Amino acid sequence: MQIRSLLAAAALCGLTAIGLSASPITGTFNIDGTITVTPTTISWQLSTAPFTAQKATIGPAATGDFSGLAGTTVTIRNLNNATEPVGVTFAQQPFISFDAAPSFPTLNINFIFGGIYSSAQCAASPAAVGQTCTLNGSPFNFVNNPPPASPQATATFAFTGVTSDGLETWQGNFTSQFTVPYQQVLAQLQSSGSVTNTFSATFSLSPVPQVPEAGTLSLLGLGLVALSVKLRKRNQA
């Protein structure tokens, strides 16, 4: 009876310690705003007045812990290829924080996916539906879409990272739609040095598999030591 009590106490201590751990935030959310791209930077702002820099709006389809944040804003920090290069893992950088939920962990970014297309059709002429383009070293996937007589382009790109508390990973899938072929978009980038357009993005979060905390392991260890001592004394009796 005493052995069972010791074992139960050890297990209870472990479960209590686990229960005190922080809980990950869960759910999905969408944001929208305006993006400005240069050859080396990406910056953001609201697409409506007052057009605040480094802000975006959470859309109405937010779920889980984010469902109460629909219509509020996030702070979304600008990116620079010098500190956030494309296609390689880099040191975590703060990326998105929730203005209406300051207790939520920040979404830290540590990877920008490279575009999946080649540059072979980036300068294709005339512009045509179905053409694709990724400039060398760029995260942007350009596609020319219908109508055939006047193609319109879509650019997609994706980022990923971890929450600042280390409990979840996240991925953001971005889309920007243009009313002209991507050849015109790239020509503007080359001539003026920047392109500005609206964007939307969907973020999903996945819990990181958790291992028992050091305190939990210590408590379980003490319980097992006590149980071992009790068994040894019983065997010697």
- Residue 96 carries which side chain, given as an amino acid letter? I
pLDDT value at residue 2: 53
Instruction: Summarize pLDDT for 121-131 with one digit per residue, the tens.
Output: 999 999 999 99
Provide the residue ranges of all domains of the chain, joining segments of one domain with +.
27-209
pLDDT value at residue 15: 44
pLDDT value at residue 173: 98
Instruction: Summarize pLDDT for 140-179 with one digit per residue, the tens.
Output: 999 999 999 999 999 999 999 999 999 999 999 999 999 9
DSSP for 24-83? PP--EEEEEEEEEE-SSEEEEE-SSTT--BTEEEE-TT--GGGGGGTT-EEEE--EETTT
CA distance 150 to 97: 39
Within 8 A by CB and 6+ apart from 157, the residues are 112, 113, 115, 139, 140, 141, 174
Q: Looking at residue 86, what DSSP letter applies? A: B
- Joined tokens for residue 107: 């979404």
Contact 32, 201 (CB under 8 A): yes
In the chain, alpha helices (H): 2-19, 182-192, 214-236
Task: Report residues of the chain scoring pLDDT below 50.
Answer: 1, 3, 5-21, 216-217, 219-220, 222-227, 229, 231
pLDDT value at residue 233: 56
pLDDT value at residue 19: 43
Contact 194, 37 (CB under 8 A): yes
**pTM score:** 0.81
